[in-house]
Amino acid sequence: MDIFELMKKGGHEQIVFNYDKETGMKSIIAIHDSTLGQTFGGVRMVHYASMEDALRDALRLSRAMTYKCAAADEDKGGSKAVIWGDPEKDKSEAYLRAFARFVEMLKGRFITGVDLNLDLTDASIIGRETQYILARSKEEGSSGSSGVTTAFGIFAGLKACAKFLWGDESLKGKRIAVQGLGAVGEPLLGHLIQAGMEVVATDVSEKTLQRLQKQCGLKTVKPNLIYEVECDIFSPCAIGGILNDQTIPKLKCKLVAGCANNQLEDEEKHGKMLQDRGILYAPDFIINAGGVIQAIDELQGYRLERVRLKTERIYDRLLHIFEMARKEKILPMEAAIRYAESRIREIHKMKRLYVPR
C-alpha cells in the first residue's frame, strides 16, 4: 500500500508508527489536521487482522475527529491512536506505559483519551508516563469517563431528530433498538427509559445483557438480530462500519442515530442507501461529540455546567444540518462535513494574521 497516497487522499498531515521491542507494543498515531490547533483523539486497542486494517482505522477515525472538533466549536484538530494487539492477552502495565512514552515524545501535538477496549484504569497507567491524556478518573482530579456526557449528547440529538422527522421532540412511545451497552450505551438507557421509550437492546457480552435486562426490564435480542428489529430508531453504540450492503437492507426503522464512530462503511454509498430507503441518518461525529467536549474542557479547568451547555447545542446543530441537507439536496453526512470544513476554512484565513509571541 502507498501510505503517502493514502495521506494525500485523506488530507492527513502525519502518521507515526511506534514499536517497543521489550513489550511488543505496536501503535499508530494519525494526525489529520491541526489548522484549529493542538490535535485530540482517543486511543483504542484492537486485535486487527493486519497492519493495513490498523492504519485504515487510524486514518478514518482521525479524519472524523477533525470534523467532530470543528463542528463542536472546539479549537482543536483531529487525530487518533490505535494499538494493534489483543486486549485480553497483550495488555499490561509496561505495554501501556510504553505507548504513553511515545505519546509524550510528540510534546503535546497529540492529546489522547481512552477509547475502545481501554478503561479508566488503563488511562491512569498511561498518565504515569505522559501528561497528554484527558478524561481520567475523578480521583485523579480529572473529569472521569466521558461515556455519561456522550450519552447525554446522544439523547439531546435524538430529540432533535424526532423534532425534524415527526414534528415533536418527545420520544415517548417510540421504539428504539440499541446495539451495544458499553460505556455510552448503558448510561444512554437511563435517558431512554425515563423518556418513556420502548427499548430493545443487544450486546456481545451476555453477562452485561442479562444484568441490564434484570435491572431495567429490557427486551433483548441476539447481536445478529438487532438489525431486523421493527422500531422507530436504530441506535449503533458499538463498533464502526456496521451500516453496509448486508445490514442496511435489514433495517426496519425511520432513523439511525447512535454513538459509534464511522458507522457508515462507505460514507457516500451507504448514506445514499439509507436515504433511498427513507431512513434519516444522524451524522455520527455531530451527535456523539459530548465526550470530546468533556475531555477538551479539562484543558481550561473542567466545569460540568459548561460541558452540559455545550453538549446541549448538539440539538440545534443537528437541526441546522438536517435543514441544510434538505435545502441543498445533499446527504446529512455531506452537510455535516461541509459545516465542519467551513469553520476550518474561516479559521485558516484568520491565521494569516501574525501575532508576536
Known catalytic residues are 80
Residues 6 or more apart whose CB falls under 8 angstroms from that of 195 comprise: 155, 170, 171, 172
Cα pseudo-dihedral 199, 204, 210, 213, rounded to 10: -10
Alpha carbon distance 353, 279 (integer Å): 44
Question: Are residues 177 and 321 in contact, defined by beta-carbon separation less than 8 angstroms?
Answer: no
Let me know: does 170 contact 329? Beta carbons within 8 Å. Answer: no
In sequence order, the 6+-apart residues with CB closer than 8 A to the CB of 12 are 6, 30, 31, 32, 33, 59, 62, 63
Rounded Cα gap, residues 241 and 264, in angstroms: 5
Helical H segments across the chain, by residue range: 3-10, 51-71, 93-105, 120-126, 147-166, 185-194, 206-216, 267-276, 284-287, 290-297, 304-312, 314-328, 332-350
- Using alpha carbons only, give the angle 228, 240, 176 rounded to the nearest 5 degrees: 40
Question: CB–CB of 254/233 below 8 Å?
Answer: yes
CA dihedral for 17, 18, 21, 24, sign (positive or negative): negative
Q: What per-residue string of b and e applies to 116-126 under the rule 16 or more CB within 10 Å gives b? A: bbbebebbbbb
